[in-house]
Amino acid sequence: MKITDVVNRVDTQEKIRGAAQYIEDIPFDNLHYARTLRSTLPKGKILKVAYPRGFPGITVVDAGDILARNEVSMVTTDMPIFADGEVNYVGEAIALIVGRDKDEIIAFMKGIEVTYDPGTPLFTCDDAEENLFTRRHYSKGDLASLEGLEVFEGRYRTPYQEQLYMEKQGVVAEVKEGVVEIFGSMQCPYYVVNALKNALDYPEEKIRVVQTVTGGAFGGKEDYPSIMACQTALAALKIKAPVQLVYDRREDIQFTTKRHPSDITIKSYYREGRIEGMKIDVGIDAGPYLGLSDVVLQRAILTMTGAYGVPHLEVSGTVYKTNNIFNGAFRGFGGPQSLFALESHMSQLAARLGVDPLDFREKHFVHQGELTSTGGRFHEEIHLEEMTRILKEMSGYPHLARDGRGRLVGYGVAVVPHGGGFTGDGEAEHIKAVVKLRKDTEQFIHILVSNVEMGQGALTALSKIVASALDVPMERIIYKNPDTRLVPDSGPTAASRTTMVVGRLLYDAALKMKDALEEREEVVVTEHYHQPAYLAWDQENLRGNAYLSYSWAALLARVEVDPVTLEVTCTDIHGVYDVGLPIDEKMLLGQVHGGVIQGLGYGMMETMDSKEGLIQHNSFSSYAVPTTEDIPAIHTRWLINPYIEGPFGAKAAGELTLVGVAPAIATAVADALGREIYEIPVLPEKLLKVVKS
Amino acid sequence: MTMVSFIVNSKPVTLETDLSRRLLDVLRDDLGLTGTKEGCGEGECGACQVYLDGDLVNSCMVPMANVIGKSVLTIEGFSETEAYRQIEAAYIEEGAVQCGYCIPGMVMATGALLRSNPHPDLEAIKDGLSGNICRCTGYQTIFKAVERASKEEVKK
Ligand code: FES
Ligand code: FES
């Protein structure tokens, strides 16, 4: 087959029929259930946990059952598997309560009494020493030389966002012949392997992790499954039976990782309608444990100048330590926060200068061959002017109709990048992906990677790449959910790297296999990741090429605002996307729609507040995400710009689709109201303040 | 515990259960019909939708007391019907399925919509599926799939 052939997704039919087995659907013999005993205090010492008597079927698993280390090993190891003597956020796991009978577990839990010595929690991000995790900084040019120029400063705030994958977090742990086996809904099977190796002090041969059909993740199942796997592994080892831990929805919303709230200040120095310099400060709230937050911060600050060349820069960022819920990965990974701030700022300054927001952006666009904000070089072709032209053409810009039949009409734009793959030299230094391709004696070709299908289409995209590279029908490709006993570590399913990085390795493997395709014997080809020689990165000083490549989007949103209630309706999103060469347009269109609607939720609907460290919006009814009634018309065009290192020219796509939507909508609302907006979501109660100000 | 009899996917079933238990749990845990999913557990997402005497219901909100003597059709049973086959083909063709978790419920809702309104326009489709949350697709391809299913000729 050819890469241009139209295919249907390979995993669809069994999902439609309800035959696909997600973790909660899989039967295990003698399955025991677990629920989590959680801290009710944001900070304090645990003085005593008193358990009720008379429950022979119940086992408690807690810090006393730790085998080697009470650490969930991620980027750091600061998070305990079970609280040991102290708690640092509301909802922190103190123990698992395990039994055969769910009702008995609940009855037992009602009788538990935990006595604390309360500490003094921190809920806000200010610069008290005990409030800091990490600080990052980089600069370019000489900002001080711009003293005396006109300045425009804005402070932007973004809220929590909950992934709200439809399938809740869930794992099952089982011990078989001394091997700890984890089955579950996850993005990164080898993250789980590594966490277990550290927690149990087991060699890799005694650990097996199998990803089960995953009902959405969006980053939420990047680090979190490692925690649940460590807890249930200890439980399964203790009771010598399989243990299932599946959260209920409220628990999942309240106590698992979310998008970091942010507070970003941008000060622009400008002259003759052009920004000469920017001073940018980014703050994000990590919660009590660092987890992935420092990595999120780096992406946030490295994305801060977006699609624009700014000669003089001072960019700093801080990860704050608080006793709020701890945060983690969510599609975009720091990008949505930065780009809301930056794109709002660009439109605000354009309006203040009385110039068209797209023309103003165009003046600042980066070009091939120029230096990035960190002193790397844009190696690939960049077609931002062309994308803007297409955007104008498809939306009828600038002659945009203002008639809203009594409603205020507004338009907003955003032009945004997303860097593909891990930041800096992460792919080469940390991930070190390995992929395998195996042709069996029946002439089927097996894709052996640890990347997962979580809805985004990995099974189909990678199968299509291999089938096209080999010019064989898709039916000859076998790609199953990863089982770490069988597949090498090709890295996490994150950072929009699966198609671009893993897909390329598979493409190379396929080319090597091509000559052996007709042989009778089994053939195995292994490929290792090597960073292209023209890229260099200094992690210490954040200098060099921050990303392998950039994907781009140019967006225009149209909104209508009710002048009385201030309710916002988004009627249209126009988007032009450069994702290199789309591997499968139909599937990518699904990514665009999904990303746009998650971005729309972020920008105009999804509200999540925390009070005394406890998330207040904890259900589908209180945390409203877009339904069928909230969906605008989505108009999409591709800018075909093949990426030389990508498989068939493909680049990152999954996250790009989300990151620019909130600022496009928020600036459209600002346009409709004739006011500036510095905070999302653009809900009526927030807009009322904007209008009154 | 009470003995209750009802019909599931055209087969009579009798089992002992608490009358306050949720139909969703009986389907999944007692009968092994795991195609019906639990998204929210409080009637807000539609992932658990089934037909109860032909009406679309959220099975997480239905106590077993309300099921006695009635007929339940789940995705497993619905997928044996002609009406379903058209919907399945349309969902596949339009690429309307991503993670799939909302899809069995979405398909049940689609079936109910097309039964009451064989040729819905976009507004009617949005209205008909407004009780079903999908976090992956942005719904566009699902709207297209419903439209396509409504246009396919009914095969006898
Ligand atoms: S699980 Fe029943 S409506 Fe969500
Ligand atoms: S396909 Fe994932 S929730 Fe709908």
Which of B42, B74, B106 lies at the terminal end of a domain, its last residue?
Answer: B74
- Confidence at residue A129, expressed as pLDDT on a 0 to 100 scale: 74
Q: Parallel, antiparallel, or unpaired for β A523-528 and A434-439?
A: antiparallel
| Pocket of ligand 1 contains residue B46 by CB under 6 Å | yes
DSSP per-residue codes, A559-624: EEE-TTT--EEEEEEEEEEE-BS-S-HHHHHHHHHHHHHHHHHHHHT----EETTEES--STTTS-
Q: Ligand 1: distance of its center to the CA of B46 in Å?
A: 5
What tens digit of pLDDT does each residue of A570-599 get?
999 999 999 999 999 999 999 999 999 999
Q: Are residues B86 and B69 in the same domain?
A: no
Q: Report how many domains make up chain B.
A: 2
Determine whether the shortest distance from the Cβ of B60 to ligand 1 is under 6 A: yes
A598:B135 CB<8 A: yes
Across the range A529-547, mean pLDDT stands at 96
B68 within a domain of the structure (yes/no): yes
Do residues B136 and B98 make contact, with C-beta atoms less than 8 angstroms apart? yes
Instruction: Starting from the CA of residue B101, give the closest ligand.
Output: 2
Domain contains B20: yes
Tell me whether residue B41 is in a domain.
yes
**Does A299 score more than 60 pLDDT?**
yes
Q: Is B79 on the interface with A (CB under 8 A)?
A: yes
Please indicate, yes or no, whether residues B68 and B9 belong to a single structural domain of this protein: yes
Q: Do B59 and B118 share a structural domain? A: no
Same domain, B60 and B6: yes
pLDDT tops 80 at residue A127: no
ipTM above 0.90, yes or no: yes
Residue of A454, A598, A627 lying closest to B130 (CB–CB)? A627
The reply to whether CATH 3.30.365.10 applies to domain A262-423+540-692 is yes
Token reading at A630: 């909230």
Are residues B70 and B18 both part of a single domain? yes
Rounded Cα distance between A426 and A432, Å, is 8
Ligand 1 centroid from CA B47, angstroms: 5
Residues B16 and B66 in one domain: yes
Clarify whether residues B142 and B91 are in a common domain: yes
Instruction: Give the residue, by CA position, lying nearest to ligand 1 atom 3.
Output: B43
CATH number for the domain spanning B132: value is 1.10.150.120
Assess whether pLDDT exceeds 70 at residue B153. Answer: no
Q: Do B68 and B29 fall within a single domain?
A: yes
Domain stops at, among B30, B56, B74 = B74
Instruction: Name the residue of B44, B130, B133, B135 whose CB sits within 8 Å of the most ligand 1 atoms, as the mutation to test its pocket.
Output: B44
Residues in chain A closer than 8 A to B100 (CB atoms): 11-12, 15-16, 20, 213, 215, 455
* Residue with the larger pLDDT of the pair A518 and A409: A409
Q: Domain range for residue B55?
A: 2-74
Measured over the CA atoms of residue A240, residue A199, residue A482 and residue A256, the dihedral's sign is positive
Domains A262-423+540-692 and A426-489+503-528 share a fold: yes
Q: What is the mean pLDDT of chain B?
A: 96
User: Which residues fall within 8 angstroms of residue A564, CB to CB, at 6 or more apart?
Assistant: none
Residues of B with Cβ-Cβ distance to A586 under 8 angstroms: 95
CATH architecture of A426-489+503-528: 2-Layer Sandwich (3.30)
SS (H, E, C) A444-493: CEEEECCCCCCCCCHHHHHHHHHHHHHCCCHHHEECCCCECCCCCCCCCC
From the list B101, B125, B129, which residue is nearest A166 (CB)? Answer: B101
Residues of A in contact with B75 (CB under 8 A): 17-18
Q: Do B92 and A9 touch (CB under 8 A)?
A: yes
What's the mean pLDDT in A339-349? 98
Instruction: Band the pLDDT of A128: cuts 50, 70, 90.
Output: confident
Q: Is the pLDDT of residue A256 over 50?
A: yes
Decide which of 3.90.1170.50, 3.40.50.300, 3.30.1300.10, 3.40.50.11720 is the CATH code for A23-120+170-248: 3.90.1170.50
Interface test with B, best of A627, A629, A631, A635 (most B CBs within 10 A): A627
What is the model's pLDDT at position B152?
75
Q: Which residue of B45, B100, B126 is in closest CB contact with A628? A: B126
Q: How far apart are CA A505 and CA A511, in angstroms?
A: 10
Query: Domain limits of chain A?
Result: 23-120+170-248, 262-423+540-692, 426-489+503-528
Is residue B156 included in any domain, yes or no?
A: no
Which residue among B37, B38, B48, B99 is best mutated to probe the pocket of ligand 2, counting the most ligand atoms within 8 A of its Cβ? B99
* Domain containing residue B41: CATH number: 3.10.20.30
> Of B74, B100, B120, which residue sits at a domain end?
B74
pLDDT for residue B155 is more than 50: no
- pLDDT at residue A71 in the model: 98
Which among A405, A126, A140 has a CA at the least distance from the CA of A285? A126
